[in-house]
């Protein structure tokens, strides 16, 4: 039906899109880091916990789906990165494990460790989850320390195909400042988006006022770190692939060229950045403007999606191996078979249907903004 | 390249077992209670009786607490294939990854979306929409179980794939073949047995209210639903249990032999009803009787396994020695399989070499050898025949205790169903029965966990039956790293479990009126 190359590109697009949606939904995590600072009373905190608590599962589910889709479409990435950068992924997973119980448990009698413990769990999830995911994605541009040798499978004493180059198993990514730049950009973006979300969702003057202030306070460092990462990456050497031989080599300004050579991606990226800024700027400049989250949210999806397209399209290795460039993963050498990608593509036709019922469900649940009285009258409120 | 430590395999296994077993404490209750609360809400929807709404909401609160920790313990299972079984993930990711992705796209979002309406939508959406959301939540949860069980069944009975020596992995060639009878049986057996756990929980907690002589009407209403539902579930579980044993006999004869402690094959083999294994049995081919004591049902195992009272059921020794007749012809011995496995591994290495040298004639020759022997690829990694024998006592006892408990559940639900419809007064007054119901709650969990022990210990040493043993499936990380994460999981999950149980107990003590 489709060519193999088309399917590989299609699935890289789906992965990029999921990464974009995930980054947008990290506003939940951002909000979790503001529970102590933004709320000044128990009631206010309860309100924040509850509006976030109606949505947290979407972020969680998107993360799990992101993992599943990556496994199904690019299994060599899944095996190499998860098995190699063990400690980074484990840290991310632990952050999300503690999140999953915290909403439900924090206000229930008998929760054993007290409410504050669960709120701290949420804080940790927000802080580490965002920074680590950002840093992990940055390694798509900065490279990682691994080797892939499929011939190892016939070695009966050490049959493992992918081997990590050091004992830090991924934590060494934190020695790279560019990884930190993206990690911190994601962290501050998530807090900015959370502030915009609160402004949109809450019917509470005080919290809205403080959220508006928080937009400015978080948007500035976000912009600094984001621009640092983007400019640094566009000016840096990139991991290019020779389409004839499949050989990977370093190319100056590779990602900048990718942007120029793929005008659609360029337009998407610029649209995304403008929309993010529009949402932020509009909220800061206009006190009545409450729809910032929609602009910034859609902008985040577009910008992150196009960043990942830069990493994987146009003959680029998306998961570069620094000790041996030829071990680097490309969308061609790491993907599933044509048959599997085809089967998965048929399943992906259902994605718009899934999005439609999510949208419908949200609409029917959120006819008005939430306030404290609302939460107090709900017998399942957290 | 560093050599892999044997203890790394053991610790990786231990971590997987730990996290999977923890996760499985919560999943069956979700699957069972999810249906029960949906049935209760349906009754409320149809009768308009507010008491049924109260009943529904009480169980829903417990469902919510249990669900949260199920989600928390579940995320690691998806990612653990990559973190700790990276070689496996590459070798079969082409087939195994797809069900996981479909699970995420189709099932998890359904759960996530509708559970929110179920909990928070009572006053926000119509009664009909709310009911639909409750059903869709459990439908989503069951659908997610479906895909992961399909993936698990595929590991036990790999079908629909072909090995590609160029990519060094198995590739999917037939999606529908993956939905094999093995997979369907596993799905229904697992889900229906989970319904039992939910029913026992509901029945036991309701019995506690009757023992305490409080919330009588609520408790009786709950018992009616739980007992009937449990009876149906336990009968269905017995039927699919039979189906599971049949498919295991066809595809994993070694597992069946371990389940029955059968070392020496027999025609018209008996099924062990009760048995105590003999510790002195040290080798599969010694002459020591594997049983100290047993009572068997004549010819029942032959019938169960092959639908023929006189069929030959191979024992551990027969499977290792080979040479017995099956529908596919004479079986090979372990030694013969090992020779073929090693030939396949060597042929693959030679094929890669020939490819590097651009010698296509040689490459094609090696490929032919590889494909001719691929069926036994995994045996190439094994050293001795004993490596193919699972832990017989573990599998035997797990299987027999599970089956015994299954029978007991049918009886228990039968009595409660009868009494709840025919003689409520006896039901209310019979302390013995009520205590039996309450004390049976853990038995449901035990039976469910034992089922997994049979399935997973029974297929050792294989990650993928005959194709990839565990030791060739792991990630190249230090044993120490896995030990650290093992204990981190142990501590965190135990801490969360304690909190979960205490919250549940508080909620139950508060009773339905608190809502």
Interval A141-189: pLDDT, tens: 999 999 999 989 988 878 899 999 999 999 999 999 999 999 999 999 9
Q: What is the pLDDT of residue B6?
A: 75
Q: Residue B403 domain-assigned?
A: no
pLDDT of residue B1: 43
A 136-155 → B contacts, CB under 8 A: 150-155
Distance, C-alpha B182 to centroid of its chain: 12
Interface of A with B in 33-72 (CB under 8 A): 54, 57-58, 60-61, 63-69, 71-72
Residues of chain B with pLDDT under 50: 1-2
Lowest mean pLDDT across A288-292, A350-354, B256-260, B498-502: A350-354
Q: Answer yes or no: do B97 and A73 touch at CB < 8 A.
A: yes
Measured between beta carbons, the chain B residues lying within 8 angstroms of A155 are: 1
Q: What are phi and psi of B160, to 5 degrees?
A: 70, 20
Same domain? B304 vs B356: no
What pLDDT shows up at residue B514?
Answer: 66
Distance from CA of B114 to the nearest CA of A (A): 8
CB-nearest partner of A163 from B1, B173, B492: B1
In percent, how much of chain A has pLDDT > 70? 100
Are residues B320 and B346 both part of a single domain? no
Contact of A3 with chain B, judged by CB distance below 8 Å, is answered with no
CB-closest option in B90, B115, B498 to A75: B90
Say yes or no for a CB contact (<8 Å) between B117 and A365.
yes
Work out how many domains chain A is built from and give that number.
Answer: 1
Closest Cα in chain A, distance from residue B388 (Å): 17
Cβ of A275: how many Cβ atoms within 10 Å? 20
Domain hosting residue A312, numbered range: 4-376
- Is the distance from CB of B290 to CB of B278 less than 8 angstroms? yes
How much is the pLDDT for A363? Answer: 85
Torsion over CA: A229, A232, A236, A241 (sign): positive
Residue A63: list chain B partners with CB under 8 A: 75
Residues of B whose CB is below 8 A from A83: 82-87, 89, 475-477
Q: Can you say how many angstroms the Cα of residue B507 is from the centroid of all Cα atoms in its chain?
A: 29
Residue A240 included in any domain: yes
CA atoms within 13 A on the CB side of A47: 24
**Mean predicted lDDT score pLDDT of chain A:** 95
Q: In this complex, do B68 and A100 lie within 8 Å of one another by their Cβ atoms?
A: yes
Q: How many CB pairs under 8 A join A and B?
A: 301
Interface of A with B in 75-104 (CB under 8 A): 75-76, 78-84, 86-87, 89-90, 93-94, 96-101, 103-104
B346 touches chain A (CB under 8 A): yes
Closest-approach residue (CA) in chain B for A353: B106
> Backbone phi, then psi, for B294, in 5-degree steps?
-160, 150
A21 touches chain B (CB under 8 A): no
Residue A241 pairs in a beta bridge with A248
Q: Which residue has the tokens 């309406």?
A: B117
Q: For residues A238 and A78, give the distance between their C-alpha atoms in angstroms, rounded to a whole number.
A: 22
Express each pLDDT in A83-98 by its tens digit. Answer: 999 999 999 999 999 9
Name the residue among A56, A218, A77 with its Cα closest to residue A137. A77
Residues in A closer than 8 angstroms to B478, CB to CB, are 167
Q: Tell me how close the Cα of A250 comes to any Cα of chain B, in angstroms.
A: 24
- Matching residue, tokens 């996760």: B23
- Closest residue in B to A358 (Cα) is B113
Which residues in chain B have Cβ-Cβ distances shorter than 8 Å to A160? 4, 86-87, 474-476
pLDDT > 70? residue A244: yes
Backbone angles phi, psi at B145, to 5 degrees: -60, -40
Question: Does A327 lie at the interface with B, CB-CB under 8 angstroms?
Answer: no
A357 contacts on B by Cβ (under 8 Å): 110, 113
CA-nearest residue to B69 within chain A is A101
DSSP 8-state secondary structure symbol assigned to residue A26: T
B127 at interface of A, judged by CB pairs closer than 8 A: no
Q: What global pTM score does this model have?
A: 0.94
pLDDT band at A374 (very low <50, low <70, confident <90, very high): confident
> Could you tell me which of B62, B38, B40 has the C-alpha nearest to residue B508?
B62
Q: Which residues 6+ apart lie within 8 Å of A360 measured at CB? A: none
| Structure-token pair, residue A380 | 């399942």
Neighbours of A286 (CB within 10 A): 10
Do A74 and A331 touch, CB atoms closer than 8 A?
yes
Question: Closest-CA residue in chain B for A360?
Answer: B113
Task: Measure CB to CB from residue B505 to each of A81, A100, A110 and give the nearest one.
Answer: A110
Measured CA to CA, the distance from residue A95 to residue B68 in angstroms comes to: 15
Considering the domain boundaries, does residue B295 fall inside one? yes
Using CA coordinates, name the residue in chain B closest to A347. Answer: B102
* Chain B contact set for A73 (CB, 8 A): 97, 101
Q: Which residues of A touch B502 (CB under 8 A)?
A: 110-112
Alpha-carbon span B501 to B507, nearest angstrom: 10
The answer to whether residues A307 and A17 touch, using CB atoms and an 8 Å cutoff, is: no
The answer, for A349 touching chain B at a CB cutoff of 8 Å, is no
Residue in chain A closest to B132 (alpha carbons) equals A361
* Per-residue confidence (pLDDT) for residue A370, from 0 to 100: 87
* Cβ neighbours of residue A168 closer than 8 Å, sequence gap 6 or more: A87
Q: Which residues of B touch A157 (CB under 8 A)?
A: 3-4
Alpha helices in A74-113 (DSSP H): 75-77, 83-84, 86-106
Q: What is the ipTM, given to two decimal places?
A: 0.94
Chain A residues with CB inside 8 Å of B348's CB? 153-154
Q: Which residues of B touch A348 (CB under 8 A)?
A: 105
Task: Please judge whether A57 and B115 are an interchain contact, meaning their C-beta atoms are less than 8 angstroms apart.
Answer: yes
Which residue has 């229930």 as its token pair?
Answer: A108
Of B85, B101, B123, the CB nearest to A68: B101
Contacts with B120 from chain A: Cβ below 8 Å? 54, 365, 378, 380-381
Report d(CA A136, CA A227) in Å as an integer. Answer: 18
From CA B334, how far away is CA B321, in angstroms rounded?
Answer: 6
Q: Tell me whether A257 touches chain B (CB under 8 Å).
A: no
In terms of CA atoms, which chain B residue is nearest residue A100? B72
Residue B173, classified by CB atoms within 10 Å of its CB into exposed (0-12), middle (13-18) or buried (19+), is middle
- What percent of chain A clears pLDDT 90, i.e. is strictly above it? 89
- Fill in the DSSP letter of residue B431: H
**Same domain assignment for residues B323 and B344:** no
Place of tokens 């009272």: B309
- B43 belongs to a structural domain: no
**Is A364 in contact with B124 (Cβ distance < 8 A)?**
yes
Mind giving me the DSSP string for A52-83? HHTTHHHHHHHHHHHHHHHHHH-HHHIIIIIH
Residues 6 or more apart whose CB falls under 8 angstroms from that of B357 comprise: none
Beta strands in B197-285 (DSSP E): 266-267, 271-277
Q: Which residues contact A158 (CB under 8 A, 6 or more apart)?
A: A152, B1, B2, B3, B4, B476
| Closest-CA distance of chain A to residue B505, Å | 8
Query: Has residue A382 been placed in a domain?
Result: no
Q: Do B73 and A97 touch (CB under 8 A)?
A: yes
What token pair was written down for B277?
């294994």
Domain tally, chain B: 2
Asked whether the beta carbons of B225 and B39 are under 8 A apart, the reply is yes
Which member of A82, A100, A151 has the closest CB to residue B79? A82
pLDDT digits (tens, 9 = 90+) for B53-83: 999 999 999 999 999 999 999 999 989 999 9
- Per DSSP, helices labelled H in A286-337 are 292-312
| Interfacial B residues in 137-196 facing A (CB < 8 Å) | 164, 167-169, 171-173, 175
The residue in chain B having the minimum alpha-carbon distance to the alpha carbon of residue A357 is: B113
**B112: nearest CB among A61, A79, A93:** A61
> Does the residue A381 lie in any domain?
no
Partner residues linked to B171 by β-bridges: B162
Contact A106, A189 (CB under 8 A): no
- Which residues span the domain enclosing B263? 258-329
pLDDT tens profile A324-345: 999 999 999 999 999 999 999 9
Residues facing B464 on adjacent strands: B468
**B92: nearest Cα among B82, B107, B105:** B82
Judged by CB atoms closer than 8 Å, whether chains meet at B116 and A365 is answered as yes
As given in the structure block, the two tokens for residue A57 are 């599962």
């Amino acid at each position: 039906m489709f060519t193999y190359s088309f399917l590989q590109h299609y699935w890289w697009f789906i992965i990029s899109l999921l990464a974009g949606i995930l980054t947008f939904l990290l506003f939940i995590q951002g909000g979790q880091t503001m529970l102590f600072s933004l709320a000044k009373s128990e009631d206010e905190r309860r309100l924040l916990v509850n509006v976030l608590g109606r949505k947290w599962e979407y972020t969680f589910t998107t993360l799990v789906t992101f993992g599943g889709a990556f496994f199904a479409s690019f299994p060599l990435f899944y095996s190499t990165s998860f098995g190699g950068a063990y400690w980074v992924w484990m840290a991310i997973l632990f952050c999300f494990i503690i999140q999953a119980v915290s909403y439900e448990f924090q206000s229930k009698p008998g929760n054993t460790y007290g409410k504050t413990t669960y709120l701290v769990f949420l804080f940790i999830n927000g802080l580490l989850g965002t920074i680590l995911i950002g840093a992990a994605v940055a390694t798509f541009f900065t490279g990682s320390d691994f080797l892939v040798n499929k011939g190892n499978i016939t070695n009966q004493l050490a049959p493992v195909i992918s081997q990590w180059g050091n004992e830090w198993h991924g934590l060494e990514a934190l020695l790279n400042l560019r990884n930190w730049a993206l990690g911190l950009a994601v962290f501050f973006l998530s807090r900015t988006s959370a502030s915009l979300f609160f402004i949109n969702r809450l019917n509470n003057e005080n919290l809205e006022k403080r959220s508006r202030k928080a937009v400015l306070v978080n948007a500035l460092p976000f912009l600094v770190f984001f621009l640092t990462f983007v400019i640094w990456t566009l000016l840096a050497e990139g991991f290019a692939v020779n389409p004839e031989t499949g050989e990977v080599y370093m190319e100056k300004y590779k990602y900048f060229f990718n942007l120029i050579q793929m005008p659609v991606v360029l337009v998407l990226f610029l649209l995304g950045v403008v929309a993010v800024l529009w949402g932020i700027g509009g909220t800061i400049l206009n006190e009545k403007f409450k729809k910032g989250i929609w602009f910034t949210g859609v902008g985040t999806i577009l910008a992150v999606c196009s960043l990942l397209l830069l990493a994987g399209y146009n003959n680029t290795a998306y998961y570069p191996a620094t000790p041996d460039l030829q071990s680097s993963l490309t969308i061609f050498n790491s993907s599933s078979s044509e048959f599997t990608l085809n089967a998965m593509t048929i399943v992906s036709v259902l994605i718009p249907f899934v999005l439609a019922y999510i949208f419908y469900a949200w609409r029917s649940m959120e006819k008005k903004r939430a306030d404290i009285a609302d939460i107090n009258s709900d017998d399942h409120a957290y | 390249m560093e050599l892999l430590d044997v203890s790394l395999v053991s610790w990786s296994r231990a971590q997987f077992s730990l996290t999977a077993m923890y996760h499985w404490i919560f999943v069956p209750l979700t699957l069972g209670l999810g249906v029960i609360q949906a049935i209760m809400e349906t009754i409320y929807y149809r009768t308009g009786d507010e008491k049924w709404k109260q009943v529904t909401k009480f169980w829903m609160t417990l469902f919510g607490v249990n669900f949260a920790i199920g989600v928390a313990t579940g995320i690691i299972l998806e990612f653990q294939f990559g973190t700790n079984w990276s070689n496996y993930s590459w070798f079969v990711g082409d087939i195994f990854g797809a069900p996981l992705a479909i699970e995420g796209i189709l099932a998890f979002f359904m759960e996530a979306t509708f559970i929110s309406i179920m909990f928070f939508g009572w006053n926000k959406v119509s009664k009909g929409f709310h009911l639909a959301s409750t059903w869709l939540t459990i439908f989503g949860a069951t659908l997610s179980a479906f895909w992961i069980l399909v993936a698990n069944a595929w590991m036990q009975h790999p079908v629909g794939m072909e090995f590609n020596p160029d990519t060094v992995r198995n590739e999917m060639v037939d999606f529908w073949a993956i939905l094999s009878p093995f997979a369907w049986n596993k799905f229904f057996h697992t889900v229906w047995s989970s319904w039992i756990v939910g029913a026992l929980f509901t029945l036991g907690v309701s019995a506690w209210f009757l023992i305490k002589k409080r919330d009588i009407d609520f408790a009786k209403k709950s018992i009616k639903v739980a007992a009937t539902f449990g009876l149906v579930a336990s009968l269905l579980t017995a039927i699919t249990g039979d189906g599971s044993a049949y498919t295991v006999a066809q595809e994993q004869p070694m597992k069946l032999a371990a389940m029955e402690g059968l070392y020496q094959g027999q025609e018209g083999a008996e099924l062990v009803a009760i048995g105590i294994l003999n510790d002195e049995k040290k080798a599969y081919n010694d002459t020591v009787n594997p049983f100290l004591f047993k009572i068997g049902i004549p010819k029942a195992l032959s019938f169960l396994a092959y639908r023929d009272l006189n069929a030959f059921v191979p024992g551990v020794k027969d499977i290792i020695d080979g040479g017995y007749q099956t529908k596919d012809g004479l079986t090979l011995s372990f030694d013969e399989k090992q020779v073929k496995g090693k030939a396949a591994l060597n042929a693959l290495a030679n094929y890669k070499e020939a490819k590097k040298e651009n010698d296509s004639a040689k490459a094609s020759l090696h490929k032919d050898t590889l494909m001719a022997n691929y069926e036994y690829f995994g045996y190439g990694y094994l050293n001795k025949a004993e490596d193919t024998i699972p832990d017989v006592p573990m599998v035997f006892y797990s299987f027999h205790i599970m089956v015994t408990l299954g029978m007991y559940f049918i009886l228990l639900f039968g009595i409660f169903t009868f009494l709840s419809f025919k003689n409520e007064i006896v039901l209310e007054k019979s302390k013995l029965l009520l205590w039996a119901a309450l004390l049976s709650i853990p038995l449901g969990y035990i039976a469910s966990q034992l089922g997994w022990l049979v399935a997973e210990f029974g297929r050792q040493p294989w990650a993928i039956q005959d194709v990839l043993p565990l030791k060739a499936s792991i990630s190249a990380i230090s044993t120490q790293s896995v030990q650290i994460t093992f204990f981190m999981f142990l501590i965190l999950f135990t801490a969360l479990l304690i909190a979960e149980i205490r919250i549940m107990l508080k909620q139950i003590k508060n009773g339905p009126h608190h809502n």
